[in-house]
Structure 1
Amino acid sequence: MLAFWRALLRETGLSRADRTRPAYTAVPAPMGPSEETAGEYVRVVGRAEAAEVDAGCATVTEIVEPLPRRPVPRAAEPARAAVRSTAPAQPPTARSGGKRAASLERTLQSLVERHGTEHPDTITARNNLATKYAQMGRRQAAVQQFQLALGEAVSVHGEDHPRTEIIRENLAWALEDAGQPAEAADQWEILLREREEQFGPADEDTVEARSHLAACYRRDGRLDASIAHYERAIEDVATTERREELRLGLSMALSLAGRCEAAIGQLRTVLSARRRRLGKGHLDTLGVHHRLGRAFTQAGRPDEAVEVLRDAYRVALNSSGDPEVRRLTLRLRRDLAGAYNAAGRPREADALL
């Protein structure tokens, strides 16, 4: 059944290929125009990997970015009704998040009273209320509602229905945002298995699920499994940019596992690729250059750390028009001073501090 949906979505240009970040997604319900539903397409960015690693561990930043309201598709468009919106954003709504959440709560309660909990419209409304909670930072409330919506969707639609898949993916991200990577991994495991069976290991959605699973395993300390999934995702991914991101995730997992040389190898590969693609002074290139220098420090190789960090620092000084580059330059200066001290060169360290 999913194969039919996938083919239809790609014909209409609404497949996940257009999505640049993982998102919570509201599923619009085919209800009458007089019913206020939770039919708001929104995106809540779950997580973004920070550019630096402290003591071999990933620093993770949580970002919340709502997308404005979009029209609710009619019942005559069932294929589009189950899809994440990728159309350009419209002007933002003036309604506050709290008022919108209260409205969605009333809608859900009304639907429960009229149709029960396992009606498709009720499931849709619950998913979209959970989406709003996640958008507002009410993580545990979002998790609870997504869990209820998923159970009801499985009962009504089945495990392999597109709406069930959307809600399961939303739940996975909500669990990650709530600091529950083990529970999130449980959901990504199911999504990976379903997508691999339906579409094969190299499909973009399969690779995406595998990469998320690898990240959850890494955060949960299951490093061997994380490394294995990162390596497989790198083999199967189609785009250069995504492959670089996966290599950075793999380098974190390798570092945490004490495999410093392998982690350094991944960082070298990404740094070389980004220099060719973006230039050595680009912020994304400098971020990897910085991480490589710190990886040498963590590996107990201070002389090589000095060489790499000094080179990155000089490039950053010549590219400091960007405020983000200026901030990175200060971190490079601090870490270069630390590398000088570790290499037994305190005079050069003092000159930087």
Structure 2
Amino acid sequence: MERALAECVARDGEEHPEAIAARNNLAGGYAASGRSDEAAAQFTRALDDAVRTLGEQHPLTEVVRENLALCHEDAARFADAAQHWRRLLDQRSARLGEDDPDTVLTRARLASACRRADRFAEAVAHYRCALERDAAFSVEEAETWRLGLALALCRTGREDESREQLRAVLAQRRRRLGARHPRTLAVHHRLGLSYVHSDRPDEAVGVLRETYRNCLAAAGDPEVRLLSLRVRRDLAAAYRAAGRPGDAAALY
């Protein structure tokens, strides 16, 4: 890919669309091989050339900007990623409309980047907006957004609203996967922990006890066996917090 870029630059110049595309491809190769800093540098250079030569609205410019945002995410540079998702969201909202699936997906990615950059209020707003327009997306994708919303709400101190989102995902997964599926149990466990973190041990006991029973019933699954150990530990702690040390001791 280095040779292809060098040939394009020698033939057409650095700002020719084919050279920009070749630089984008080179950056993608670096990213795929774990060379994230080199990838980001090449994506940034390709983006600068694309904006200067082709303009912000050109399809190639959008492709390069999206690749740069993903590269920043892979390197845990979430604030940088959010900056590019924000620009892409503005462009796609204006060109395609708020309800277009590309716009909605871009908003969901912005929400995720904001949450991981500790910009929780922004994340909440964008997750809610994306979920209002999730009809074109799979149940699994919408559940991922809803779980992200639950995390962001929790970090803004809105724990009851966070639990509403967890319960919604839990109900969907019970219907779709069954109560004893590992992904269902993971959400059930998270719901129990939310009561622990809110210092509501009696409610935590009720949720975690049900989760633990479902884990034991599905203990043939290695993933569930590992989860059951964590649930048992957290249930014991909830029993102790609720003033029930005997019940905690009985778990071991």
Q: TM-score range by the shorter chain?
A: over 0.9
> Is 1:247 matched with 2:146?
yes
> Is 1:180 matched with 2:77?
yes
**CA displacement at 1:188 relative to structure 2:** 0.4
**CA displacement at 1:203 relative to structure 2:** 1.3
In the other structure, the counterpart of 2:193 is: 294
Match of 1:275, as an amino acid?
A: R
In the other structure, the counterpart of 1:154 is: 51
> Is 1:144 matched with 2:41?
yes
Tell me the distance in 2 between the aligned counterparts of 1:336 and 1:275: 21
Tell me the distance in 2 between the aligned counterparts of 1:349 and 1:134: 48
Tell me the distance in 1 between the aligned counterparts of 2:41 and 2:219: 46
**CA displacement at 1:159 relative to structure 2:** 1.5
4+ aligned runs moved over 4 Å, structure 1:
none
Give the TM-score normalised by the residue count of structure 1.
0.68
In the other structure, the counterpart of 1:266 is: 165
Per-residue CA distance 1:24-78 (angstroms, 9 max, x = gap) = xxxxxxxxxxxxxxxxxxxxxxxxxxxxxxxxxxxxxxxxxxxxxxxxxxxxxxx
Match of 1:212 among 97, 106, 109: 109
Taking only the aligned residue pairs, the percentage that are identical comes to 52
In the other structure, the counterpart of 2:8 is: 111
> Is 1:230 matched with 2:127?
yes
Per-residue CA distance 1:214-246 (angstroms, 9 max, x = gap) = 111112222211111111111111143322221
Tell me the distance in 2 between the aligned counterparts of 1:241 and 1:203: 19
Match of 2:208 among 284, 294, 309: 309
Match of 1:254, as an amino acid?
A: L
Give RMSD over aligned pairs.
1.5
Tell me the distance in 2 between the aligned counterparts of 1:321 and 1:166: 45
1:72-87 map, 5 Å: none
- Of 250-259 and 321-330, deviating more is 321-330
SS at match of 1:236: coil
In the other structure, the counterpart of 1:170 is: 67
> Is 1:350 matched with 2:252?
no
Tell me the distance in 1 between the aligned counterparts of 2:49 and 2:193: 48
CA contact (8 A) 1:218 1:226 kept: yes
For structure 2, the residue ranges without an aligned partner over 5 or more in a row are none
- Structure number having the greater helix percentage: 2
Give the TM-score normalised by the residue count of structure 2.
0.93
CA contact (8 A) 1:184 1:216 kept: yes
Per-residue CA distance 1:260-310 (angstroms, 9 max, x = gap) = 111111111111121112211112211110110111111111111111111
| Higher RCO structure, 1 or 2 (CA under 8 Å, sep 6+) | 1
For structure 1, the residue ranges without an aligned partner over 5 or more in a row are 1-103
**CA displacement at 1:352 relative to structure 2:** 2.8
CA contact (8 A) 1:202 1:237 kept: no
SS at match of 1:158: coil
- Of 221-230 and 114-123, deviating more is 114-123
SS at match of 2:27: helix
**CA displacement at 1:204 relative to structure 2:** 1.1
Match of 1:325 among 199, 224, 230: 224
In the other structure, the counterpart of 2:95 is: 198
CA contact (8 A) 1:169 1:187 kept: yes
Match of 1:297, as an amino acid?
A: V
Tell me the distance in 1 between the aligned counterparts of 2:221 and 2:27: 38
SS at match of 1:114: helix
**CA displacement at 1:115 relative to structure 2:** 2.5
1:93-112 map, 5 Å: 104-112=1-9
Tell me the distance in 1 between the aligned counterparts of 2:184 and 2:216: 14
In the other structure, the counterpart of 1:81 is: none
Tell me the distance in 2 between the aligned counterparts of 1:212 and 1:219: 11
